[in-house]
Chain A
Amino acid sequence: MTWQESAAKAVQRLVSRTGNPLFTRRQLIDSEIKQIIAETASAGETPDQTLSRVLQELRDQGVIKFEASGVYRLLKIVAKAYPRKNFFVQMFTKDISLEDCVLDLIDNSVDGFIKSRHLRLSEVASVFWEKKETKKRTSELPEIHVSLSDTKFEIRDNCGGIDFKDAQNEVFNFGHSTGWTSESLGVYGIGLKRALFKLGNHFEVFSQTTKNGFSCELDVDVWVEKDNSIDDWTFPLKEERAEPSFAKAGTRIRVNRLHDEVKMRMKTGTVESSLRKSISTTFSFFLNRYVKIFVNNQMVEPTPIPTSRPSKGTVSFERFPDDGVEIRILATLAKTGADGRYDQTQTGWYVICNGRAVLTADKGEITGWGISPMPAYHTQYGGFIGLVFFESANPMKMPWTTTKRSLNRESAIYLRTRGKMALAARPVLAFMRSKYSADYDTAPVERELARNTVEATPAQLATAKTVQFEVIKTAPPPNPTTRVQYYALNSDLDKIRKHLNKSRMSAVAIGEHTFNYFLDQEGLK
């Protein structure tokens, strides 16, 4: 280090210690000269004099200013804005659930698959809309195995592995530098690390491609301790041999010393099933088409979005490009279950970015419910299904948050899309509103809707032109009956029950009985 650099740093240190931009030459010599000599490796006899000369140079450069004899003022004062390991390990992990962390790790595996096969994610995702389903033998698909217990966590795949060079330069960085772009599910450069830190104190990553391999083992507690300069922000890597078989190349991540809170959640026994559910909806499009995913050795089946279309009529569909993102919006009625009812846990808006579901069956404000011109969600809209599909070669343009489980409300693309989502949804909602009247049981309405809709996949529902949902009305068969309702004194009802010797006769039955009696007696039947 040069004298000038070292002295400038020494001044910064001194000022930040005293909190006063004024300092004397004496103070600087007393507290800093030793470090300056060490940093500059000076062997001279007169460091004090050298310092005086250097201070003059710093003055000429406008870094400091002479105030009085031997008194200086630091002009270029800076505030420290260092990254802190503890923030990433302790704080940043609080914004994400355990399940979502695992989804992030699966993203990593899927990215390995895409990369090793030289596929393009946006193109892979758009296959979703192809009317003809290409059948692939699922036995050939790569597998991602997640195993978790209250003592350890492991995810391993044969998706192709992480390149050694990428591991050295990119994979373990916290975030990407500006200008970085890659067609992948991993976008922000944080998911992998956050997941590892969230899960436990010690992890091992072992990865092999067909060309090279590496491993990385880290004791997080030890790593956090040493945080003095940016050079402490590295993970130790070990070179491993390449995997000659393409079908076996992949990555294995183990987390050994699980955090207490993770262990506690694991012990509740619900994590496995909620994780299975998240995977099956989030990766619904990839499952059994590109990869197979297993949780504790049991395969996860995809949950398809239950869409249908009116037997006579159209669904709402629009497709448009926006700033490098291809967007499709579909709004229609849901498919009813075997009981002829809507499963309201599956209805609402689905938002899918490059094939990965970001929101599923959403009924909240984020998808516009309750924000003009969308009504607030109500059970009468329980048969609504909306689908928004974003595809882009540049995932930075996607409107997702860093957890990829919600949308960035300020995303311009999303704001633009939300208006169109409302336009697509309104006719469906108006139709549903017209079907339900407030005071009756909803079951018969839903069964009637079910009779007048046909199951159809989103791909089958996509159209070449923008269309609006419409149900073509067919004249309903005239209803020959009218509901008759009136109030009667309980004492009178009891008299009738007694008279008929039917002590448990219902009020409805009494009403019908007396009505028929009148028709009979008056000869009107």
Chain B
Amino acid sequence: MSVTGKSYEKVHYEFRPAKQVERRMLLDVLQRLMEIGFPISSYQYTGLGSLWFIDFILFRRYLGIRHMVSVEGSLEVETRVRFNKPYGNIEIFMGDVGDYIPSLSPDRKHILWLDFDYVIKKESLDAIVLGASQLSAGSLLFVTVDAEPPVKEGRARDWREYFQSEVGDYLGNLTKDNQFSRSKLVAINASIIERAIKHGLAGRNDVNFFPLLNFVYADGQHQMLSVGGMIGTEEDSRKLQTLNKLHLPFLRDSIVANPYEIKVPLLTRKERLHLDGFMPCRSSWRPREFVMKPADVLAYREIYPYFPAYTEMLL
């Protein structure tokens, strides 16, 4: 009943511009964290690399992270996963990510990206709870979920039933059908994730969760939600205060309110190159050579440093 198709057969990872902008923004945050004293390059990165490992390549190249583990739940693609891993020292764990998290070393700091490309389900929540329980102080936890209706061709009632059966304990006072309408799904997912993090942190008196990111984006019609932050001490929190918010306009201090929407305007290569020559522009600026919607100009102004350039390579 749920949408849990395998990502490696659903999308060609390299052609999801909004996803790529998200990765680049996350990368930017990690680089800034490094600047303010978090030794990111000695962190362990644990992700769900699938067959593409794009996050792994970015983090190795631009952050110098060496300890890397990719968790893969689809046992039938094991040989392909091992074949496709871009660096020899990426460790592969075949199995449920929730079964791997307890072995994350408490003596090391971590970046854990639970980059699920399906609708939230019990196993994903287990992983979030475990992550919040296990990650050492100073570690980063990011969670991505598909925020589309969990039952295709269903109605709010079916969606409520889905959430109640999968993640019922985390719904709080959400009990009525109309609270599960399509427009509320992003907020519902965010609140579920927040509760799961709190549940996982219950009893850890040395650390708290400090939100950093709260993205909503869509490649095509598919809406995704990505939230995350640091599990850290009060001292970590003070350090985080020194992050330059001007350079990172997408930073958020809540994972449930006011998400940052990643909008990627459709542009040709020639248009992009032209626009880049004027970036960063004033908010009233418009290109003279061609017509562009003001909203698109503003959107481009925020994402141009992260915008991926695609070009055909004949290899």
> Interface with B: A67-75, A155-163, A410-418, which one?
A410-418
Query: CA of A412 to CA of B200 in the docked complex: distance in angstroms?
Result: 13
Give the residue among A316, A412, A426 with the most B Cβ atoms within 10 A.
A426
DSSP majority for the B interface?
Answer: helix
B169 in contact with A419 (CB, 8 Å): no
Which of B92-139 touch A at CB < 8 Å?
95-96, 98-99, 101-103, 106, 122, 125-127, 129-130, 133-134
In the complex, whether B196 has a CB less than 8 A from a CB of chain A is: yes
A416 in contact with B95 (CB, 8 Å): no
> Interface with A: B63-71, B147-155, B201-209, B270-278, which one?
B201-209
Q: With contacts A419-B203, A420-B133 known, is A373 near B98, CB below 8 A?
A: yes
B202 in contact with A415 (CB, 8 Å): yes
B169 in contact with A371 (CB, 8 Å): yes
B205 in contact with A416 (CB, 8 Å): yes
Q: Which residues of B contact A430 (CB under 8 A)?
A: 95-96, 99
Q: Which residues of B contact A415 (CB under 8 A)?
A: 202-203
Query: CA of A81 to CA of B134 in the docked complex: distance in angstroms?
Result: 47
Q: Which residues of A contact B60 (CB under 8 A)?
A: none
A372 in contact with B133 (CB, 8 Å): no
Render A387-401 as a binary contact track against B, CB cut-off 8 A, 1 for contact.
Answer: 000000000000000
Render B167-206 as a binary contact track against A, CB cut-off 8 A, 1 for contact.
Answer: 0011000000000000000000000000010011011110
Q: Which residues of B contact A416 (CB under 8 A)?
A: 202-205
Q: Which residues of B contact A413 (CB under 8 A)?
A: 203
Q: Which residues of A contact B134 (CB under 8 A)?
A: 423
Interface size for B (C-beta < 8 A) is 25
Q: With contacts A372-B122, A372-B129 known, is A424 near B202, CB below 8 A?
A: no
Q: Which residues of B contact A420 (CB under 8 A)?
A: 133
Query: CA of A417 to CA of B199 in the docked complex: distance in angstroms?
Result: 12
CB distance from B78 to the nearest CB of A (A): 14
Q: With contacts A372-B125, A416-B203, A419-B133 known, is A424 near B169, CB below 8 A?
A: no
In the complex, whether A47 has a CB less than 8 A from a CB of chain B is: no
In the complex, whether A42 has a CB less than 8 A from a CB of chain B is: no
Query: CA of A416 to CA of B202 in the docked complex: distance in angstroms?
Result: 6
Q: With contacts A427-B102, A430-B99 known, is A418 near B196, CB below 8 A?
A: no
A423 in contact with B130 (CB, 8 Å): yes
B203 in contact with A422 (CB, 8 Å): no
Q: Which residues of A contact B127 (CB under 8 A)?
A: 373
B96 in contact with A417 (CB, 8 Å): no
Q: Which residues of A contact B122 (CB under 8 A)?
A: 372
A427 in contact with B130 (CB, 8 Å): no
In the complex, whether A282 has a CB less than 8 A from a CB of chain B is: no
Render A96-137 as a binary contact track against B, CB cut-off 8 A, 1 for contact.
Answer: 000000000000000000000000000000000000000000
Q: Which residues of B contact A506 (CB under 8 A)?
A: none
Closest residue of chain B to A429 (Cβ to Cβ) is B99
Query: CA of A220 to CA of B204 in the docked complex: distance in angstroms?
Result: 47
Interface size for A (C-beta < 8 A) is 21
Closest residue of chain A to B103 (Cβ to Cβ) is A468
In the complex, whether A168 has a CB less than 8 A from a CB of chain B is: no
Q: Which residues of A contact B101 (CB under 8 A)?
A: 423, 426
Query: CA of A247 to CA of B196 in the docked complex: distance in angstroms?
Result: 56
Closest residue of chain A to B125 (Cβ to Cβ) is A372
Q: Which residues of A contact B95 (CB under 8 A)?
A: 430
Which of A421-448 touch B at CB < 8 Å?
422-424, 426-427, 430
Closest residue of chain B to A467 (Cβ to Cβ) is B103
CB distance from A343 to the nearest CB of B (A): 26
Q: Which residues of A contact B133 (CB under 8 A)?
A: 373, 419-420, 422-423
CB distance from A320 to the nearest CB of B (A): 10
Query: CA of A423 to CA of B169 in the docked complex: distance in angstroms?
Result: 19
Closest residue of chain A to B170 (Cβ to Cβ) is A372
B202 in contact with A422 (CB, 8 Å): no
In the complex, whether A466 has a CB less than 8 A from a CB of chain B is: yes
Query: CA of A373 to CA of B129 in the docked complex: distance in angstroms?
Result: 6
Q: Which residues of A contact B103 (CB under 8 A)?
A: 427, 468, 470
Q: Which residues of B contact A417 (CB under 8 A)?
A: 203
Q: With contacts A422-B133, A423-B134, A424-B102 known, is A372 near B202, CB below 8 A?
A: no
CB distance from B294 to the nearest CB of A (A): 45
B203 in contact with A372 (CB, 8 Å): no
Query: CA of A373 to CA of B169 in the docked complex: distance in angstroms?
Result: 12
Q: With contacts A372-B125, A373-B127, A373-B130 known, is A423 near B203, CB below 8 A?
A: no
Query: CA of A424 to CA of B102 in the docked complex: distance in angstroms?
Result: 7
Closest residue of chain B to A411 (Cβ to Cβ) is B203
Query: CA of A219 to CA of B188 in the docked complex: distance in angstroms?
Result: 61
Query: CA of A413 to CA of B205 in the docked complex: distance in angstroms?
Result: 10
A-B interface, 9 closest residue pairs, ranked by CB to CB distance from nearest: A416-B203, A373-B126, A430-B99, A419-B133, A423-B102, A373-B129, A415-B203, A373-B130, A426-B102
- Contacts A419-B202, A426-B102 known; list 19 others, CB within 8 Å: A372-B129, A372-B170, A373-B126, A373-B129, A373-B200, A415-B203, A416-B203, A419-B200, A419-B203, A422-B130, A423-B133, A424-B102, A426-B99, A426-B101, A430-B95, A430-B96, A466-B106, A468-B102, A470-B103
Residues of B within 8 A of A (CB): 95-96, 98-99, 101-103, 106, 122, 125-127, 129-130, 133-134, 169-170, 196, 199-200, 202-205
Between A and B, 14 residue pairs with Cβ closer than 8 Å are: A316-B102, A372-B129, A373-B126, A373-B129, A373-B200, A415-B202, A419-B133, A419-B203, A419-B204, A422-B130, A423-B102, A424-B102, A427-B103, A466-B106
